[in-house]
Structure 1
Amino acid sequence: MPSEEFVRGMLYMSLTIVGVPGNTAVILAFLLLLYHENRLLPADAIVLHLACVNLLVVGVRCLLETLASFRLASIFGDLSCKAVIFVYRTSRSLSIWLTFVLSAYQCLSIAPPGSRLASFRVIVANYLGFVFLFLWIINTCLSSAAVLFSFGTQKNSSLINHGINVQFCYVHFPSKLSKQANGAAQVGRDVVPMTFMTLASLMILFFLYKHSQQVKGLRSGGGGFGGSERRAAKAVVALVTLYVVLYGVDNGLWVYTLTVRKTMTSSLISDLRIFFSSLYAALSPYVIIASNRKVNGRLRCAAQEKTVK
């Protein structure tokens, strides 16, 4: 096995080993919470949805890349390439948008009582199912180009300047304009929620600072939000920071692939992009486990019950 494929396989395997158990644990914790309490709070439903799409990112792309890199399975034909790239791009973009929804909802949750932001939280909570459906429809449509232009083998070499090599699959665009248009759509799809979630995080930090100033020198919280809400707010800010750093690198590499010539000659840039974007999906559940008492508590209870049995 060439050293390049071995390194690639080890990188994807590390993401799989870290990401699959982490996201599975978060999903299990919320399912146990739903079973015992018969309901989930809106913020919990968003986090559960986020863990599910992150599991898709890691399981569908990283696991299959690991199997192919170590030549354990030959699974990347035309049809499978279309399916893998489509599911990966859809779930990846959903992960971004759900992180924005989580940050926005948390911002509304800690807004001053009686403000317009606080009242808008009730509306978002009531229509959260429609928000999920809308995001699925939009991101599915934006990923449709993957079905049209993905192949398991490299096509006509004259299209080399209009294609992207993603190691086991090739994405061929009919023209330079279509390639750049698709790339611009993907960048916009990422930059828009990134901008909004950054603004929401800054507002969260502002509310936290304002509240700390109000209760400074006092023994009580003075009617402000409690410790659990502060922890949740800080966890959301941590997730957004993790996203901005990793997806910032990812989108920087994506812009590079759109501007440089003959990107089909090497899959290194595509491998780095997939690694950094999947790294968020692999690490984010551990931020959730460490900061969310509900998740932590349910996992501990499940572990104790298993030990007793």
Structure 2
Amino acid sequence: METRDLAVGIFFLTQTALGMVGNSAMFFCFIIADFSGIKVKPTDLIIKHLTWANFIVLCRGIPQTTAAFCQTYYLDYVSCKLVLYFHRVGRGMSLGSTSLLSVFQAITISPNNSKLAELKGTAPRIISSSLGLGWALQLLVYVCIPVYTTDIWGGKNDTGIKDFGFCVIMNPGRLLGILNTILLTSNDVIFLGLMMWASGYMVFILLKHKQRVQHIHRSPSPRSSPETRATQNILTLVSIFVFFYVTSIVFTSYLSVLEETRRLSNAGAAMAACFPAFCPFLFIRHHAPVFRLCSIGFHQTIHRAYVVREH
């Protein structure tokens, strides 16, 4: 085994294991909250779907790791189609869920005299349908991927194949390849644009509120204000998110015009899984209420079990 393959395998193994542990802990919090009967916020439903999408994205790391460690490991015909198809669906839904979360938060903190304030009453009621529509949209947008995906043996004699190590994608032709790239990239760009707009709007509202509060009190505190901390959190999350996904979009677009793509496909898969892997830890740092919910639910579950045992 070459040193490069060993390094690739270790990287994917670490990334996948770390992401699985983090997302499992996050999902476990919601299970505890559900069993405890705690009423969750609308945003918690979005985060739950985001966690599922992250799991799907990270699942590709399993065959990717195995292929790096074992050069003779290949998926069969059906598994290849399912792995690459649902990886793209999960990636798109991870991006869409994060964008929906940002838009919902922007609506929540919007001033009462703004146009977004009119959506405050209806936004929580349409979250479930929006998530369902998001899944349906991603399943439809990426339906072309299984058509051109096959196993290593199926694409052995074809020219212009894209080698992913454990599967290959056959060349659909230059024109069709360009059209597919435009369609798939547009899907990502729209969600990224929505998230950046919503995050920019939230930063603008928070900064305006900070100026208004300082003008009223005229007593600057040595500690940073809640608005400043919230703004810093938003900018941190958006910067990390945009960096990973823009890099992933660039790799995806570039791969569509290349024939031999083994190294670049590894880099593209790694960048696509970076945010799903680190997402739970970012929520721990910047969205502590999610894990407060877990703590409250855990204590309530223990208390109920204790009461039942006593009686």
Q: If the length of structure 1 is used for normalisation, what is the TM-score?
A: 0.86
Q: Is the counterpart of residue 285 in structure 1 residue 280 in structure 2?
A: yes
Residue of structure 2 in register with 1:139 after alignment? 138
Match of 2:50, as an amino acid? L
Mapped to 2, the partners of 1:228 and 1:298 lie a distance apart of 21
Aligned pair partner of 2:247 in 246, 249, 266:
249
On the 8 A contact 1:159/1:174 being kept in 2, the answer is no
Match of 2:262, as an amino acid? S
**Larger deviation: 116-125 or 281-290?**
116-125
**Pairwise CA distance, 1:77:** 1.2
**Pairwise CA distance, 1:278:** 0.3
Residue of structure 2 in register with 1:238 after alignment? 236
**Pairwise CA distance, 1:55:** 1.6
Structure 1 residues 203 and 125, CA gap change in structure 2 (3 angstroms): same
CA deviations over 1:238-276 (Å, ceiling 9, x no partner)? 3332221011111122232234xxx33241111111101
Q: Give SS of 1:215's match.
A: helix
Q: Is the counterpart of residue 40 in structure 1 residue 35 in structure 2?
A: no
On the 8 A contact 2:209/2:227 being kept in 1, the answer is no
Mapped to 1, the partners of 2:30 and 2:213 lie a distance apart of 33
Residue of structure 2 in register with 1:10 after alignment? 10
Residue of structure 1 in register with 2:150 after alignment? 151
Q: How many percent of aligned residue pairs carry the same amino acid? A: 22
**Pairwise CA distance, 1:171:** 0.8
Residue of structure 1 in register with 2:213 after alignment? 215
**Pairwise CA distance, 1:199:** 0.9
Match of 1:21, as an amino acid? V
Aligned pair partner of 2:172 in 171, 174, 179:
174
Query: What is the correspondence of 1:29-108 to structure 2 with a 5 Å cutoff?
Result: 29-58=29-58, 60-71=59-70, 74=73, 76-108=75-107
Mapped to 1, the partners of 2:70 and 2:31 lie a distance apart of 35
Mapped to 2, the partners of 1:86 and 1:234 lie a distance apart of 36
Q: Give SS of 2:110's match.
A: coil
Aligned pair partner of 1:194 in 192, 202, 218:
192
Q: Give SS of 2:112's match.
A: coil
On the 8 A contact 1:110/1:229 being kept in 2, the answer is no
Mapped to 2, the partners of 1:235 and 1:52 lie a distance apart of 23
Structure 1 residues 205 and 74, CA gap change in structure 2 (3 angstroms): same
Mapped to 2, the partners of 1:72 and 1:173 lie a distance apart of 23
Q: Give SS of 1:76's match.
A: coil
Residue of structure 1 in register with 2:309 after alignment? none
CA deviations over 1:37-61 (Å, ceiling 9, x no partner)? 4432111111111111112211x11
On the 8 A contact 1:253/1:269 being kept in 2, the answer is yes
Residue of structure 2 in register with 1:120 after alignment? 119
Mapped to 1, the partners of 2:168 and 2:273 lie a distance apart of 19
Report the structure number with the largest CA radius of gyration: 2
Q: If the length of structure 2 is used for normalisation, what is the TM-score?
A: 0.85
Residue of structure 2 in register with 1:270 after alignment? 265
Mapped to 1, the partners of 2:94 and 2:31 lie a distance apart of 19
Structure 1 residues 121 and 73, CA gap change in structure 2 (3 angstroms): farther
**Pairwise CA distance, 1:67:** 2.7
Structure 1 residues 197 and 233, CA gap change in structure 2 (3 angstroms): same
Mapped to 1, the partners of 2:226 and 2:53 lie a distance apart of 25
On the 8 A contact 1:108/1:117 being kept in 2, the answer is yes
